[in-house]
Structure 1
Amino acid sequence: MAGLRMLLEQVVRDGVGVDGNLRGRLYELHNRGFITAHQRERLVNVITYGNAAVHEGTSVNSEDFRYLLMSIEHLLLGHFVLRQSALGLPQNEAEQSLRSSFTP
């Protein structure tokens, strides 16, 4: 769990920098439209369980771990893979029709 929390920390740093605590930076990711409110709440669970693992030596069952791991995987896909792929795509229908009118 501590490893998932550390990974979350690095992705969030890449997204919004290092100012504030990790929960606050998750809210900033949400405010900037990088993640949904539901994703934010799932990622807060990663923080909670990661902190408990480090400070109290607690662990989670395999089903909970899979759920938390998928939450991180979803963040990674959205932040590094899908967002990069979408950078060249039109943002709306008007822009899309404008681009198609200029194709040879």
Structure 2
Amino acid sequence: MSFRIRGQNATSGMGVADHSKDAFLELKRKKAYRYVIFKIDEKKKEVVVEKTGNPAESYEDFTASMPENDCRYAVYDFDFVTSENCQKSKIFFIAWLVLSHPVF
């Protein structure tokens, strides 16, 4: 997974806080977190870390940490065992959306 962000995006004017990049890299390289939840700070016009989950937390802990009435972005480090009994890990990017009405 690549997470290349260089300052502000020229078209949106939205930047990414250094601690947001650092948190992702700590999840990816050091397995310091199970997940990182990001939000947009409208005043600063940048993506910031709202919450991190320790490595022992579950997917249920992650979803319980997400807001019911607001959107967020997150990365989640999913551990699993293959059919060959090998321990693996995949990092997922999640866009958490709140819909005001059902989409059919």
> Is TM (by shorter chain) over 0.5?
no
Name which one, 1 or 2, has greater alpha-carbon Rg. 1
What's the TM-score once normalised by structure 1's chain length? 0.26
For CA contacts below 8 A with separation 6 or more, give which structure has more relative contact order. 1
More strand by share: 2
